[in-house]
């Protein structure tokens, strides 16, 4: 036993949020420029956590940070040391509640660090299961998309619980912009479930449409067709709004992206706040688009670039 370290990154869902909970495919991209790291060290005495959000004993962690506590406990269980003391320190650059995968990324870094501190290297599937324990504490029915995306090294196609690397046929630049309104994934997932119970045919048609757009986008990414990716995003945003996971602040930034020359834009992640993702024409345009979205009121915006994979 010694100090264990773990690392993960933010992610953005390009296509398939919510629909993925109902078995439809999704496309996501890790944002490697926005990392989270965790350090874990076995100690005498109780398990503790130090992060920007909390510093104290794990068994006194506030309710809203329960998923983080669950990640530590799950990793201790996995190494066969459920009641061991461990000091965990988390440093995250991922803004929380923005649909950027903060909860899954923090959990991924923690489970890797804690297991390493007790001399265990987790297999990708073991690690995934532990992240999912934390994600279940965050919102009832996580698809696993976030858990897979925050540890990926390139764009992923997610289907049936598994992620495969997606081929990219040409360079593509995406811009993310925060609405400044906290996203409410848990609430949005519950609202979709309620609507699905109430109007199954209506919701199934929307989910089918969102899954179809993910499939179209997979082809467009493979041929490097940024315009087609953008057009599919604009369609997906409309469908997500009908699904009830939109928000006026998201619509405002999607419209601003359009006037700023984006090829398309949509909400990303759980919705009801959080971020939008837009397709830029190229890397230079991405810089302009970031400035345009900031001027439209977004408190934070980033760009992320994909190179052709072949």
Which one, of 29, 52, 90, lies nearest residue 302 by Cα? 29
Asked whether position 185 contacts ligand MEV by CB under 6 A, the answer is yes
Is the Cβ of residue 81 or residue 127 nearer to ligand MEV in the bound state? 127
CA distance 293 to 259: 10
Residue number of the CB closest to ligand MEV reads 143
Is the Cβ of residue 18 or residue 196 nearer to ligand MEV in the bound state? 18
Is the Cβ of residue 79 or residue 214 nearer to ligand MEV in the bound state? 214
* 164, 114 Cβ separation under 8 angstroms: no
Is the Cβ of residue 17 or residue 159 nearer to ligand MEV in the bound state? 17
Among 4, 9, 12, 18, binds ligand MEV (CB under 6 A): 18
Is the Cβ of residue 11 or residue 285 nearer to ligand MEV in the bound state? 11
Least distance (Å) from ligand MEV to the CB of residue 99? 6
* 25, 159 Cβ separation under 8 angstroms: yes
Asked whether position 17 contacts ligand MEV by CB under 6 A, the answer is yes
Asked whether position 20 contacts ligand MEV by CB under 6 A, the answer is yes
Asked whether position 246 contacts ligand MEV by CB under 6 A, the answer is no
* 239, 205 Cβ separation under 8 angstroms: no
Least distance (Å) from ligand MEV to the CB of residue 265? 17
Is the Cβ of residue 76 or residue 137 nearer to ligand MEV in the bound state? 137
| Residues within window 131-150 making contact with ligand MEV, judged by CB under 6 A | 142-143, 145-146
Asked whether position 213 contacts ligand MEV by CB under 6 A, the answer is no
Asked whether position 178 contacts ligand MEV by CB under 6 A, the answer is no
Number of residues that bind ligand MEV (CB under 6 A): 14
Least distance (Å) from ligand MEV to the CB of residue 188? 6
Asked whether position 21 contacts ligand MEV by CB under 6 A, the answer is yes
| Residues within window 91-130 making contact with ligand MEV, judged by CB under 6 A | 99
Three-state secondary structure string covering the chain: CCCEEEEEEEEEEEECCCHHHHCCCEEEEEEEEEEEEEEEEEECCCCEEECCCCEEEHHHCCHHHHHHHHHHHHHHHHCCCCCCEEEEEEEECCCCCCCCCHHHHHHHHHHHHHHHHCCCCCCHHHHHHHHHHHHHHHCCCCCCHHHHHCCCCCCEEEECCEEEECCCCCCEEEEEEECCCCCCHHHHHHHHHHHHHHCHHHHHHHHHHHHHHHHHHHHHHHHCCHHHHHHHHHHHHHHHHHCCCCCHHHHHHHHHHHHCCCCEEEEECCCCCCEEEEEECCHHHHHHHHHHHHHCCCCCEEEEEECCCC
Asked whether position 298 contacts ligand MEV by CB under 6 A, the answer is no
Backbone angles phi, psi at 104, to 5 degrees: -70, -40
- Residues annotated as catalytic (active site), given as ranges: 146
Among 74, 111, 172, 189, binds ligand MEV (CB under 6 A): 189
Asked whether position 42 contacts ligand MEV by CB under 6 A, the answer is no
**Residues in the site for ligand MEV, rule: CB under 6 A?**
13, 17-18, 20-21, 99, 142-143, 145-146, 185, 189, 269-270
């Amino acid at each position: 036993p010694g100090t264990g370290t773990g690392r993960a990154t933010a992610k953005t869902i390009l296509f398939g949020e919510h629909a993925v909970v109902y078995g439809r495919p999704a496309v996501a991209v890790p944002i490697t420029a926005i990392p989270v790291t965790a350090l874990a060290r076995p100690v005498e005495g109780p398990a503790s956590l130090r992060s920007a959000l909390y510093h104290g004993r794990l068994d006194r962690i506030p309710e809203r940070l329960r998923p983080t506590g669950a990640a530590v406990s799950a990793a201790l269980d996995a190494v066969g040391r459920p009641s061991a003391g461990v000091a965990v320190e988390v440093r995250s650059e991922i803004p929380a509640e923005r649909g950027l995968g903060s909860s899954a990324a923090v959990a991924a870094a923690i489970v890797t660090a804690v297991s390493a501190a007790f001399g265990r290297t987790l297999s990708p599937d073991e690690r995934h299961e532990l992240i999912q324990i934390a994600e279940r504490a965050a919102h009832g029915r996580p698809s696993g998309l976030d858990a897979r995306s925050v540890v990926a090294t390139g764009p992923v196609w997610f289907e049936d619980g598994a992620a495969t690397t997606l081929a990219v046929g040409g360079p593509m630049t995406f811009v993310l912009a925060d609405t400044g309104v906290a996203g409410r994934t848990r609430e949005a997932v519950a609202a979709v479930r309620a609507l699905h119970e109430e109007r199954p045919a209506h919701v199934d048609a929307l989910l089918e449409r969102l899954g179809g757009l993910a499939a179209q986008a997979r082809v467009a990414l493979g041929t490097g067709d940024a315009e087609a990716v953008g057009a599919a995003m604009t369609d997906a945003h409309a469908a997500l709004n009908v699904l009830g996971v939109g928000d006026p602040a998201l619509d405002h930034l999607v419209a601003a992206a359009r006037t700023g020359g984006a090829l398309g834009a949509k909400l990303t992640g759980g919705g009801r706040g959080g971020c939008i993702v837009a397709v830029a024409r190229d890397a230079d345009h991405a810089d302009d688009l970031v400035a345009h979205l900031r001027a439209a009121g977004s408190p934070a915006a980033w760009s992320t670039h994909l190179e052709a994979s072949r």
